[in-house]
Amino acid sequence: MPHSYLDVQPEVAHALAHNQPVVALESTIIAHGMPYPENVQTALRVEAHVRAHGAVPATIAVLNGKLKVGLTAAEIAQLGQAGPQVVKASRRDLPLLLATGALGATTVAGTMIVAALAGIRVFATGGLGGVHRGAQATMDISADLPELAQTPVAVVCAGAKSILDLPLTLEYLETHGVPVLGFQTNEFSAFFTRESGLPVDMRCDTPAQVAAILRARWALKHGGVVVANPIPAGLAMPRDAIDAAIAQALSDALARGVSGKAVTPFLLARVNALTGGDSLTANIGLVLNNAALAAAVATELARLA
């Protein structure tokens, strides 16, 4: 994709030109991940959190035929207010949005692509997409996973969303050669809960350890890395409670015929309703936690460079 499609905010461009740490942030979490106005408030808090931890935030979206790297507060508000009307922009959607000038909120995969084009190597999000439950029949596998196999960006997340089939998600990542690092944990985190019973490929106890692995990975011209950062203990939800809410949400989605891109937003909203809003509080907390770690990793990566 020609770089003429990129529109990099001056602050972000200056930071990249001077080897200063930059953290990419997705915009699907604004348009589809949370209700308004919490989505806008959270996006601005996450950007402030990245700054407070020593890095420059670069929220990414597709606006007016451009790949925007760094958004204004007004642009963030525009995405949040439009909500589900905004196109979820993954790899297949980017050229369509650029050609038509339509508004797009980038998914994990879409954000990785734009971040890599801009030269940003570290990206903070909430939870990774993955293999959906029942994928043996539906073949519903998030585009996030193949993107990780080819695009050299580290994704700092609270593991994969717990609405997914986590064993199959890890199996897919292993097959496609994507390392899964656990930050201060030996277990793959499961979004709302700290434990999944599933092992990571390697435990890293400091941001410097993560950065060293990223540098080695990209020296080999390989793709992305998953950095699984457990939700803070005080925000983690009881596993039995969240599993019950997810099971009910999945049943509701099936009964209503929800499919395709609408599945994840529906399930997250339904789980939030079933937990009395507790899952939204947890979601916001884990995103902030990931932003802080991503800033620390980006800082260490800049030092190595």
CA distance linking residue 72 with residue 68, whole number of Å: 10
- Nearest CA to 12 among 50, 62, 46, 64? 50
- Nearest CA to 145 among 119, 163, 127? 127
Q: Kindly report the number of other CB atoms within 10 A of residue 26's CB atom.
A: 30
Active-site option among 147, 161, 187, 300: 161
Tokens (6 digits) for 228:
């699984």
Tokens (6 digits) for 221:
């011209």
26 is catalytic: yes
Tell me if 126 sits within 8 A of 14, measured CB to CB.
no
Report strand pairing: 225-228 vs 66-69. unpaired
Active-site option among 26, 47, 147, 187: 26
DSSP state of 83: G
CA distance linking residue 256 with residue 270, whole number of Å: 12
Tell me if 167 sits within 8 A of 198, measured CB to CB.
yes
Tokens (6 digits) for 192:
């709302």
161 is catalytic: yes
| Beta-carbon contacts of residue 15 (< 8 Å; ≥ 6 apart) | 21, 22, 56
CA distance linking residue 196 with residue 182, whole number of Å: 12
Active site residues: 26, 161
